[in-house]
């Protein structure tokens, strides 16, 4: 599909939803992609990227960031607490604040560094046992706990169950964000970003539709 086609479809979805052009931030998910594909997208002007693995991101991004000023990196994969410091050195945003122990360690680091990345709480909207995230019923309390720790939250993130209509999940996320005074909604991927934009997404995370299929070989 490619970057230009995604941009065109984003604009159409924003317009159809009565939203302003450029309202939605495109996070180009570059995990596991060959460097040549990522460079082509950087050269086309894309500056916001998502990665899932701290080590992989630390290996490839410092060089590109020097070469392409203004590049922003978003952590969208599960974050182990022993990688937190490396993640804070690297990422401008973390979309996977998914448990109390991570919130506590994050709060300590944020205080020590005097700087907080953009933070999204990951909500397990489908209550899937194998998936990370705060359960919807526990989300209000978790947000309150994060705020009590001094963390400033930007919004909520979800990954709907693969085999279901994502729209009810997007609506659950929007409802939880709204009643907690959060404006950021990180939702929508290659297969469903237009539906997510219609439901109020502020950040969409699109990988394979931009770069092509991932080869985990
Ligand atoms: C890999 C990944 C994406 C991108 O998925 P595509 O289907 O390739 O667009 C988005 N969000 C998360 C959390 C991911 O891990």
C-beta 157 within 6 A of ligand 1: no
Q: What is the pLDDT of residues 73-124, one digit of tens each?
A: 999 999 999 999 999 999 999 999 999 999 999 999 999 999 999 999 999 9
C-beta 13 within 6 A of ligand 1: no
Distances (CA, A) of 123 to 63, 97, 156, 157: 33, 9, 7, 6
Q: What is the pLDDT of residues 131-170, one digit of tens each?
A: 999 999 999 999 999 999 999 999 999 999 999 999 999 9
Q: What are the domain boundaries of the chain?
A: 3-211
Ligand 1 centre and the CA of 205: distance in Å?
Answer: 6
In the beta sheet, which residues pair with residue 185? 156
Q: Are 22 and 29 in contact (CB under 8 A)?
A: no
Q: What is the pLDDT of residues 2-13, one digit of tens each?
A: 999 999 999 999
Position 217 pLDDT exceeds 80: no
H-helix or E-strand spanning residue 48: strand 48-51
> What's the pTM?
0.97
H-helix or E-strand spanning residue 62: helix 54-67
Please state, in angstroms and rounded to a whole number, the distance separating the CA atoms of residues 179 and 140: 9
Class of domain 3-211: alpha beta
Ligand 1 centre and the CA of 29: distance in Å?
Answer: 6
C-beta 189 within 6 A of ligand 1: yes
Ligand 1 centre and the CA of 207: distance in Å?
Answer: 6
C-beta 29 within 6 A of ligand 1: yes
Ligand 1 centre and the CA of 185: distance in Å?
Answer: 15
Nearest CA to ligand 1 atom 7: 190
Classified as helix, coil or strand, 213 is coil
Q: Are 201 and 17 in contact (CB under 8 A)?
A: no
Which residue's structure tokens are 């993640």?
87
Q: Are 71 and 42 in contact (CB under 8 A)?
A: yes
Nearest CA to ligand 1 atom 11: 205
C-beta 207 within 6 A of ligand 1: yes
Q: What is the pLDDT of residues 23-41, one digit of tens each?
A: 999 999 999 999 999 999 9
């Amino acid at each position: 599909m490619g970057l230009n086609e995604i941009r065109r479809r984003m604009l159409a979805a924003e317009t159809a939803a009565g939203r302003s052009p450029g309202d939605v931030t495109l996070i180009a998910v570059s995990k596991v992609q060959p460097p040549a594909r990522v460079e082509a997208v950087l050269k086309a002007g894309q500056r916001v990227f998502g990665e899932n693995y701290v080590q992989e991101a630390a290996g490839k991004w410092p060089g590109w960031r020097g070469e392409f000023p203004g590049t922003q990196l978003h952590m969208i994969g599960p974050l182990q607490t022993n990688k937190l410091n490396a993640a804070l050195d690297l990422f401008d945003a973390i979309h996977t604040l998914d448990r109390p122990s991570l919130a506590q360690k994050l709060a300590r680091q944020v205080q020590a560094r005097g700087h907080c990345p953009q933070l999204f709480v990951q909500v397990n909207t489908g209550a899937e046992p194998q998936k990370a995230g705060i359960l919807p019923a526990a989300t209000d309390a978790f947000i309150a706990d994060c705020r009590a720790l001094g963390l400033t939250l930007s919004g909520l993130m979800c990954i709907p169950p693969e085999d279901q209509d994502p729209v009810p999940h997007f609506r659950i996320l929007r409802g939880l964000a709204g009643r907690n005074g959060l404006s950021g909604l990180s939702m929508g991927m290659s297969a469903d970003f237009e539906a997510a934009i219609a439901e109020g997404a502020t950040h969409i995370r699109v990988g394979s539709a931009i770069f092509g299929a991932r080869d985990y070989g």
